[in-house]
């Protein structure tokens, strides 16, 4: 009986020691497993970090490349815009030059026609006549400039003398009103006197009264030794164009 108890007393410590060994082994296994997992995770994190850094470096290089390309495109756009601006300015200058040349060409043609009419007149145009009458605005609202040209064809080479009367006709307060050139111009030498063999030009300013609306200009040329010439011209303000002659105002 006693020997049996002794045997049990001996067995129990051995089982407890074995259990402790199993427990310690299990704990050590857990620790090793944890360490291995930690080491694997750390290594994986390191690999991922390297990959992310490499990707980041690649993106930086791509951004730098795109920025360089963008700067080059901006430079090309600036060059093209400057070139277009130069072309527009050059086109504008050429256009202005063409308009100026066309104007001068038109004036020369008119001058040629003017002198041709004097040198080689038609049978019906012989004698004294009103060659040109025009009006244009002279910068201010009621201030205008006029030009009158008288001619005498070469079939009559005698000196012609006389005077010119001008009357501006229009309306004021819906009533017909007339003003002589002497009342509308402060120039000296009015009424105009002419003395020429081939042609003579008259120019001057007209200052219209406030509220007066002009409709036409009556021109009366009175030579000393021939019949009087009378024409009424429409008030047509356009520089370089002859005012249209109308039969009645």
What is the pLDDT, as a whole number, of residue 5?
A: 47
Phi-psi map region of 230: left, alpha, beta (phi>0 left; psi -120 to 50 alpha): beta
Unique residue bearing structure tokens 């299990």: 26
Selection from 148, 147, 163 nearest residue 221 by Cα: 163
Selection from 206, 193, 211 nearest residue 243 by Cα: 206
Confidence (pTM)? 0.53
Contacts of 164 (CB under 8 A, 6+ apart): 148, 150, 191, 192, 193, 194, 202, 219, 220, 221, 222
Highest mean pLDDT among 81-85, 149-153, 228-232: 228-232
Structure tokens of 24? 């310690």
Selection from 103, 106, 137, 129 nearest residue 235 by Cα: 137
Q: Give the domain 125-246 fold.
A: Immunoglobulin-like (2.60.40)
Selection from 209, 217, 206, 211 nearest residue 242 by Cα: 217
Highest mean pLDDT among 129-138, 155-164, 218-227: 218-227
What is the pLDDT, as a whole number, of residue 20?
A: 56
Structure tokens of 170? 């229009």
For residue 158, give Cα distances in angstroms to 164, 183, 234, 235. Answer: 19, 33, 32, 33
Chain segment 157-197, per-residue pLDDT in tens: 678 899 999 999 999 998 999 999 888 887 766 778 999 88
Q: What is the DSSP letter of 209?
A: P
Cβ proximity of 230 and 244 under 8 Å: no
Q: What is the DSSP letter of 44?
A: H
Q: pLDDT-derived band of residue 120, with 50, 70 and 90 as boundaries?
A: low
Tell whether omega for the bond before 198 is within 30 degrees of 0, i.e. cis.
Answer: no
What is the pLDDT, as a whole number, of residue 75?
A: 85
């Amino acid at each position: 009986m006693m020997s049996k108890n002794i045997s049990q007393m001996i067995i129990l410590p051995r089982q407890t020691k074995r259990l402790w060994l199993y427990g310690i082994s299990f704990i050590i296994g857990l620790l090793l497993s944890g360490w291995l997992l930690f080491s694997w995770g750390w290594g994986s994190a390191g690999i991922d970090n390297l990959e992310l850094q490499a990707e980041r470096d690649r993106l930086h290089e791509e951004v730098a490349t795109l920025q360089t390309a963008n700067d080059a495109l901006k430079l090309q756009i600036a060059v093209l815009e400057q070139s277009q601006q130069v072309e527009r300015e050059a086109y504008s200058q050429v256009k202005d030059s063409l308009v100026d040349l066309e104007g001068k060409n038109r004036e020369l043609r008119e001058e040629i026609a003017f002198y041709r009419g004097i040198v080689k007149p038609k049978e019906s145009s012989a004698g004294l006549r009103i060659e040109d009458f025009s009006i244009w605005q002279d910068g201010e609202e009621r201030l205008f400039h006029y030009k009158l040209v008288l001619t005498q064809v070469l079939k009559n080479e005698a000196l012609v003398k006389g005077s010119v009367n001008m009357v501006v006709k229009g309306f004021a307060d819906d009533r017909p009103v007339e003003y002589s050139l002497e009342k509308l111009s402060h120039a000296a030498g009015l009424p105009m006197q002419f003395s020429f063999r081939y042609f003579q030009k008259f120019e001057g300013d007209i200052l219209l009264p406030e509220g007066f609306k002009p409709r036409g200009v009556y021109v009366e040329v009175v030579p000393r030794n021939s019949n009087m010439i009378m024409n009424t011209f429409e008030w047509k303000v356009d520089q370089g164009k002859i005012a249209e002659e109308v039969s009645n105002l």
